[in-house]
Amino acid sequence: MNINSPIGIFDSGVGGLTVARELFSLLPSEDIIYFGDVGRTPYGGRSENIIKQFTRQDISFLMEKKVKLIICACNTSSAVAIEDVKDRFDVEIIGVIKPGATVAADKTKNGMIGVIGTRATINSDAYAKTIKRIDPKLNVISHPCPLFVPLVEENYLENEAAKIIAGNYLQVMKDAGIDTLVLGCTHYPLMKDIISQIMGDSVRLIDSGEETAKAAQHYLYSITAVKEFVEKSKGERKFYVSDVPHQFSGIASRFLGHNIDSIEQVDITKY
Amino acid sequence: MNINSPIGIFDSGVGGLTVARELFSLLPSEDIIYFGDVGRTPYGGRSENIIKQFTRQDISFLMEKKVKLIICACNTSSAVAIEDVKDRFDVEIIGVIKPGATVAADKTKNGMIGVIGTRATINSDAYAKTIKRIDPKLNVISHPCPLFVPLVEENYLENEAAKIIAGNYLQVMKDAGIDTLVLGCTHYPLMKDIISQIMGDSVRLIDSGEETAKAAQHYLYSITAVKEFVEKSKGERKFYVSDVPHQFSGIASRFLGHNIDSIEQVDITKY
């Protein structure tokens, strides 16, 4: 492994940009390659076989770029596919489930943890299983919030409807008396304000993307593979997508916090 | 062309089942093959090139089944791709734009027509252009309603949030004083109640899928290609999809009005 190789990060679409944003901030000198499977988004509603196939292709594309570490920023892929496909590749692959689950298990005081995500993530029960492996005494309440992704992508968060929908979805969490809520989808950090308004200050929100970026940083430091930081020199950041639909750059810049200079399109079905 | 050949119908997902339902009712003796590109749904947010490629593949699959007529039940494909790809295939292809546009132009009294659909359909301006070709004096107000599809698929229609969102989207139509509103997406018939509550009785809703089924019936009669109706014998109905995700059959039965007995999965990327 070459210390100067880039870090690869992929997601089913734009959501993973919230994770990339954390990475940029934690590891400013690293070269980072982002792949967003915008042409086949969303993975959340698809069958397991299709999700595994797409995940293999996403990783194969990044492997071609000779990355030193791969971050699977897609909760659906992390939940359904990563364990199955990681043995095929000779690289460390960090998914978003374990870092978020670990911090939630560590932070809860009353042992009641909530997890929200897409249907596929929640149906996989991946967060609950991981949390239970850490501490079998913890209680996990999982609930899918499938309308959050379109609400975020449509930037419909200021509207009363978003609050009503979030209120409905989260009622089960309030009823259960959780003190920790895992945001198990990389779109959800953009709904943090609404979610914390509903849950109140006493519930700690765990951004699994943010925790994943920290885990990646920790891993690279642990194997002494962090690129040297030369003052004022930022790492190179490249963005690849499988399609460039209308409004892509607007959505992407909201997720990333700044504009993307250049985006390259790849035919991911070839991988 | 063989009069006993099946009719092919395709859509980017389950929405086209509302058109299939109309076809079953209008042409009960016909064998009908439905293909839903559930594995790559939704087309609405994708780029034109991808939509054209998917549309070619969907049609190629149906051509292999030796269909006598193809109905493109997908508004996005009809708006963006059909004109470009139809010359490649030796079969009549009826899209959903023209039938809906024609009836709207015919029915309006005050000359103010509204059109709602996905972003891709509205951005293509296909309905407005078609209506203007019929009568340049007609006024067309188009507006995308991107959250309607997830609201329908999540069966979130009884909730106050759906009414608020619909109210926001449709305000521009009320302000413009339209008397005719084209439902330019096959998901929207399932929102008819909410839409007519908001628009009031004086606004006529045009279901472009229903009008397309009527146009298909008319075409087959015009070339004397309707299969003979033998009492009590219903045509054969086959359903193919590119993926079978969780909850598919539940969603499909709501669109179709009854359960689907058997569904076959095909690898559409091979076509």
Nearest CA in chain B to A251: B45
| Angstrom distance (rounded) from CA B46 to CA A9 | 22
Question: A199, A116 in Cβ contact below 8 A?
Answer: no
Of A50, A149, A161, the CB nearest to B164: A161
Closest-CA residue of B relative to A123 is B246
Given this model, what pLDDT does residue A245 score? 67
CB B126 within 8 A of CB B76: no
Of A123, A151, A243, the CB nearest to B47: A243
Of B46, B123, B146, the CB nearest to A154: B146
Beta strands in chain B (DSSP E): 7-11, 32-36, 69-72, 93-95, 112-117, 139-144, 180-183, 204-207, 237-241, 263-265
- pLDDT score recorded for residue B246: 65
Closest CA to B141 of B106, B176, B90: B176
Q: From first to last of its 271 residues, what are the pLDDT tens digits of chain B?
A: 789 999 999 999 999 999 999 999 999 999 999 999 998 888 877 888 889 999 999 999 999 999 999 999 999 899 989 999 999 999 999 999 999 999 999 999 999 999 999 888 898 999 999 999 999 999 999 999 999 999 998 999 999 999 999 999 999 999 999 999 999 999 999 999 999 999 999 999 999 999 999 999 999 999 998 887 777 778 999 999 998 766 778 888 888 888 887 889 999 989 9
A250 touches B: beta carbon within 8 Å: no
User: What residues pair up with A139 in beta bridges, in sequence order?
Assistant: A112
Closest CA to A32 of A257, A245, A262, A239: A239
Nearest CB neighbour to B159, from listed A150, A164, A269: A164
pLDDT tens, position by position, A172-206: 999 999 999 999 999 999 999 999 999 999 999 99
φ/ψ of residue B144, rounded to 5: -75, 145
DSSP state of B24: H
Give A-chain residues touching B150 at CB under 8 angstroms.
146-147, 149-150
pLDDT of residue B227: 86
Q: Above pLDDT 90, what percent of chain A?
A: 76
Of residues A15, A31, A21, A56, the one with CA closest to residue A220: A31
Domains of chain B, each with CATH number or no CATH: 7-95+210-270 (3.40.50.1860), 97-209 (3.40.50.1860)
User: Is the CB of residue B146 less than 8 Å away from at least one CB of chain A?
Assistant: yes
State the complex-level ipTM: 0.86
Rounded to 10 degrees, what is the CA torsion of A61, A64, A65, A69? 80
State phi, psi for B82 to the nearest 5 degrees. -55, -45
What angle is formed at CA B172 by the lines to CA B166 and CA B176, rounded to 5 degrees?
Answer: 135
Catalytic residue among B74, B138, B213, B251: B74
Say yes or no: B91 contacts chain A, CB-CB below 8 A. no
Asked whether the beta carbons of A17 and A11 are under 8 A apart, the reply is yes
pLDDT of the residue at A169: 98
A72: annotated active-site residue: no
CB contact under 8 A, B165 and A159: yes
Q: How far apart are CA A137 and CA B68, in angstroms?
A: 62
The number of beta carbons lying within 10 Å of the beta carbon of residue A91 is 16
Least confident of A80-89, A153-162, B37-46, B61-70: B37-46
Q: Checking DSSP bridges between strand B180-183 and strand B204-207, what pairing results, if any?
A: parallel
Determine the Cα angle at B205 with ends A150 and B23, to 5°: 85
Query: In B, which residues are within 8 Å of A154 by CB distance?
Result: 146-147
The residue type of B34 is Y
pLDDT given for residue B245 in this prediction: 67
Which of residues A269 and B136 earns the better pLDDT score? B136
A257 sits in the region (left: phi over 0; alpha: psi -120 to 50; else beta) called: left
Separation between Cα atoms, residue B247 and residue B243, nearest integer Å = 12
Q: Residue A176, Cα to own-chain centre: how many angstroms? A: 25
Question: Which chain A residues touch B162 with a CB distance below 8 Å?
Answer: 161
| SS3 labels along chain A | CCCCCCEEEEECCCCCHHHHHHHHHHCCCCCEEEEECHHHCCCCCCCHHHHHHHHHHHHHHHHHCCCCEEEECCHHHHHHCHHHHHHHCCCCEEECHHHHHHHHHHHCCCCEEEEEECHHHHHHCHHHHHHHHHCCCCEEEEEECCCHHHHHHCCCCCCHHHHHHHHHHHHHHHHHCCCEEEECCCCHHHHHHHHHHHHCCCCEEEEHHHHHHHHHHHHHHHCCCCCCCCCCCCCCEEEEECCCCCCHHHHHHHHHCCCCCCEEECCHHHC
d(CA A59, CA B20): 39
Residue A266 reports pLDDT greater than 70: yes
The pLDDT value recorded for residue A246 is 65
A74 belongs to the catalytic site = yes
- CA B140/CA B115 separation, integer angstroms: 7
- C-alpha to C-alpha distance for B128 and B171, rounded to whole angstroms: 19
Q: Which two tokens stand for residue A219?
A: 């891993």
The mean per-residue pLDDT over the stretch A56-78 comes to 96
CB contact under 8 A, A164 and B160: yes
